[in-house]
Amino acid sequence: MKELEQIPREAERSSGMWGFVWEVIQFVALTIVIVVPIRVYVAQPYIVSGNSMYPTFESGDYLIVDQLSYRLNEPTYGDVVIFRYPQDPSKFFIKRIIGKPNDVIEFVNGALTIVNTEHPDGIAFDDPYANLLSRETKTVTLKEKEYYVLGDNRIASLDSRAWGPLPENLITGRVLARLFPVSHIDLLPGKIQFFKMPSNSN
């Protein structure tokens, strides 16, 4: 009575090949099921091109953009965001949020003040990049679902000053991390406090 039967070598090779193919299929399927949704809905890599956000970001910086947070919370002042350029949605821009929906933004000789329901008398920006603003004086009023964005390198940035408010639906996400260059690895790079908070007085 035979307990074991030798498998022909041709069958072994065939079985091994199909086993390998099946593993590849499983790997690809797993990638599609797990990695692709993460890339589409959660996080996406981008490489900075140009110097409109200098000195915060330089051309060649490798960034990971959080695409999930803004599905739960609205963008806020100082956030560095990636968005589709309103005049050509095939292009992606990186800028900093200065104004939120329904804000009135006042530019006076380069200094910025925000007027809204929380600050009807206005609140000044503690803006480290104000010296790079043009010395114009103007007022901008934002509508619902509109944001005002500026590049940190104000004298070399194509931003809301040129093409107007940014529609909310064009915002892709906020910059979550910088992974390259290695010497500048950072979480939430460029995060700053923009408002001068009033001191408590007795």
Q: Are 126 and 194 in contact (CB under 8 A)?
A: yes
Q: What are the distances in angstroms from CA 191 to CA 75, 77, 141, 174?
A: 13, 10, 25, 11
Assess whether 160 carries a catalytic annotation. Answer: no
Task: Dihedral sign for Cα 153, 155, 157, 160, please.
Answer: positive
Among 15, 52, 157, 201, the active-site one is 52
Among 59, 91, 95, 183, the active-site one is 95
What is the number of other CB atoms lying within 10 angstroms of the CB of residue 174?
Answer: 22
Assess whether 95 carries a catalytic annotation. Answer: yes
What is the number of other CB atoms lying within 10 angstroms of the CB of residue 145?
Answer: 15
Q: Are 169 and 84 in contact (CB under 8 A)?
A: no
Which residues are known to be catalytic? 52, 95
